[in-house]
Amino acid sequence: MALECERMFVSAQSILHVDMDAFFASVEQARRPELRGRPVIVGGPPGTRSVVATASYEARAFGVRTAMPTARAQQLCPQAVFLRGDLAAYAAVHERLVGLFRLFTDRVQVVSIDEAYLDVSGCRRLFGPPRAIACRIQELVYDREGITCSVGIGSGKLLARLASELARPAGLGELTDADVCGRLRELPVRDLLGVGAVTEARLAALGITTVALLQDAALPLLSAAFGSGAYALKQLAFGRSLASPVRSRRRLPKSLGKEVTFDEDTADGDRLRATLLRLVDHAMTRLRAKGLAARTVTLKLRYSTFHTITRRTTLPHATGATQPVYGAAVGLLDHVALDGRLVRLLGVSLGDLHARSFQLTLDDVWKETSLDEAVDRIRARYGTASIGRAGAALVSSALLPARREAG
């Protein structure tokens, strides 16, 4: 009975999953007509160690895939146009698209720059059935931005996402509850949202490769391999996700931090402070990008012995400004008696996060805010490494390999 009720409840939902087709490449083709119909690859230049961010469908025909090294992409598709990418432009399109989705419902969950879930359950009387809304969205996206999107309709996020996956590019798909026992069964387990490479491999070890096999698998068999996650996994096979419904309002993260492991352990105070400035600077840029302000600052320090200490302080006000946070962090660092001990790792974490409504001040912090904003704008356009604080430059990038930074 409980299950029956749950199903009725779930069926009442109409979720759309809107996925932009080859988003970055499409935006480039839309604003540069000469690129239309040609293979376009957005990513770093082929000579470097960069990877493909997006490949247009013309390029995909040659086997080019997202996250493939651009060098490999060039081998596969030498005639492709390689573009560095213009994140600011893509973000602007994204903003407009989200605004467009919000015309239909306020329950929009933005998953990433090129996909979103829309809960249109309550919109039938205003805009018609989900399929009509999906068509209208595809038309509007094409009219306004000149790019195409795939829309999946389902009674839950998982089915909607699967439906859009099956419909791309530029398609419209729907997976009904009837499909759960039909079409869905034909698919490989990997197509299920929530089944990644690891789960796929562990299922394969049990001989489970398709959704049908997962649907029919005995729960005890799954429990042996997946423990308490077995039930959730089996629910996935029926297109039911235990995950939350469409969340229109993002929850605030609890904290946000950045840390770095030194290539060589150090006890040099100047170097620690300069590194700290860099960490704070970058963490604050991320914080501001999320529209947040922080009130607590936590310093983390790991000695070469792996003994780890943390020190925390609370600011008078939540702030999004770099300077007061750095001041607090340095204060914490200066209070730690290193006594010549070598430091292996240094980290800073910002807590007690608030939506970015931060108290402005009458003096220097006000100027500082303008400075911070300018830095963020430059970074959004030219990348994080394009601008930094002079103090942080004491530590050259060579000393701090970016690969080892935990973000």
Partner 1 sequence: MKFTCDREALVDKLLVLSRGVSTRGTLPVLSGILLQARDGRLEMCSTDLELSMKAVVPAEIERPGDVVVPARLFSDIVRNLPVAGVTVELGQGDEASGSVVVTGGSARFELNAWTATDFPQTSSFDLTGSIAVSRVPFLATLAKVARAASRDDNRPILTGVLVSVEPTGLRMVATDSYRLAVKQTTLSDGPQAEVEAIVPVKALNEVARLASGIESESIAVVISENQAVFGLGDLVIATRLIDGQFPNYRQLLPESFEHVVELDREMFLAVVRRVGLLAQKNAPLRLRFVPPTEDQPAQLVVRAITQDIGQARETLDIEYSGEELEIGFNHLYLVDGIESVDEEKLALQLITPLRPGLISGIRDGDPGTDFLYLIMPIRLSG
Check residue 23 for interaction with partner 1 (CB under 8 A): no
- Candidates 99-107, 140-148, 219-227, 355-363 — which segment interacts with partner 1 by CB under 8 A? 355-363
Among 38, 102, 311, 356, the residue binding partner 1 under the rule CB under 8 A is 356
Residue 48 or residue 359: which is nearer to partner 1 going by CB?
Answer: 359
What residues between 275 and 304 interact with partner 1 by CB under 8 A? 291, 295
Report, in Å, the least distance between residue 362 CB and partner 1. Answer: 5
Rounded to a whole number of angstroms, the CA Rg of the chain reads 25
| CB nearer partner 1, residue 31 or residue 317 | 317
| Out of 12, 88, 355, 393, the residue judged to bind partner 1 by CB under 8 A | 355
Which of 136, 202, 286, 317 is in the footprint of partner 1 by CB under 8 A?
317
The CB-of-110 to partner 1 minimum distance in angstroms stands at 15
User: 262-294 as b/e, with b when 16 or more CB fall inside 10 Å?
Assistant: beeebeeeebbbbbbbbbbbbbbbbbbebebbb
Q: Is 318 in the site for partner 1 (CB under 8 A)?
A: yes
Least CB distance to partner 1 at residue 21 (A): 30
* CA distance linking residue 39 with residue 20, whole number of Å: 17
**CB proximity list for 273: less than 8 A, separation 6 or greater:** 330, 333, 391
Query: Near partner 1 by CB under 8 A, which window of 88-96, 119-127, 239-247, 362-370?
Result: 362-370
DSSP secondary structure of 17-38: EEEETTHHHHHHHHH-GGGTTS
CA–CA separation, 322 and 108 (whole Å) = 32
Q: Which one of the spans 117-125, 214-222, 354-362, 378-386 is the region binding partner 1 (CB under 8 A)?
A: 354-362
Return the range that interacts with partner 1 (CB under 8 A); candidates 122-130, 276-284, 342-350, 352-360: 352-360
Considering only 1, 3, 5, 362, the residue that binds partner 1 (CB under 8 A) is 362
Q: What are the backbone dihedrals phi and psi of residue 84, each rounded to the nearest 5 degrees, phi first?
A: -75, -25
CA distance 290 to 207: 43
What would the 3-class secondary structure string for 269-331 be? HHHHHHHHHHHHHHHHHHHHHCCEEEEEEEEEEEECCCCEEEEEEEEEEEECCHHHHHHHHHH
Region from 35-43, 103-111, 315-323, 396-404 binding partner 1, contact rule CB under 8 A: 315-323
Burial bucket for residue 391 (CB in 10 Å: 0-12, 13-18, 19+): middle
Tell me the backbone φ, ψ of residue 335, rounded to 5 degrees.
-85, -10
Residue 224 CB burial class (10 angstroms; 0-12, 13-18, ≥19): exposed
Does position 358 bind partner 1 by CB under 8 A?
yes
Q: How far apart are CA 220 and CA 29, in angstroms?
A: 51
d(CA 71, CA 77): 10
386 binds partner 1 (CB under 8 A): no
Q: How far is the CB of 321 from partner 1 (least distance, A)?
A: 11
Least Å distance, CB 117 to partner 1, is 22
Measure CA 292 to chain center. 17
Distance CA 391, CA 407 (A): 21
Residue 92 is encoded by which pair of tokens?
A: 């602007």
Nearer to partner 1, 75 or 359 (CB): 359
- Could you tell me the smallest distance in angstroms from the CB atom of residue 361 to partner 1? 4
Active site residue 95: no
Question: Which one among 314, 357, 386, 397 touches partner 1, defined by CB under 8 A?
Answer: 357
33 touches partner 1 by CB under 8 A: no
Q: Does 314 bind partner 1 (CB under 8 A)?
A: no
DSSP, residue by residue, 66-97: TTSBHHHHHHH-TTPEEE---HHHHHHHHHHH
Determine which residue in the list 5, 363, 396, 403 makes contact with partner 1, applying CB under 8 A.
Answer: 363
What one-letter code names the amino acid at 83? L
Of the two residues 247 and 356, which places its CB atom closer to partner 1 in the complex?
356
Q: Which of 360, 385, 393, 402 binds partner 1 (CB under 8 A)?
A: 360
Q: What does the angle CA 373 – CA 377 – CA 382 come to, to the nearest 5 degrees?
A: 145
Which of 4, 6, 28, 115 is the catalytic position? 115
Catalytic residues: 115
Q: Which residues bind partner 1 (CB under 8 A)?
A: 252, 291, 295, 316-318, 327, 354-363, 365-366
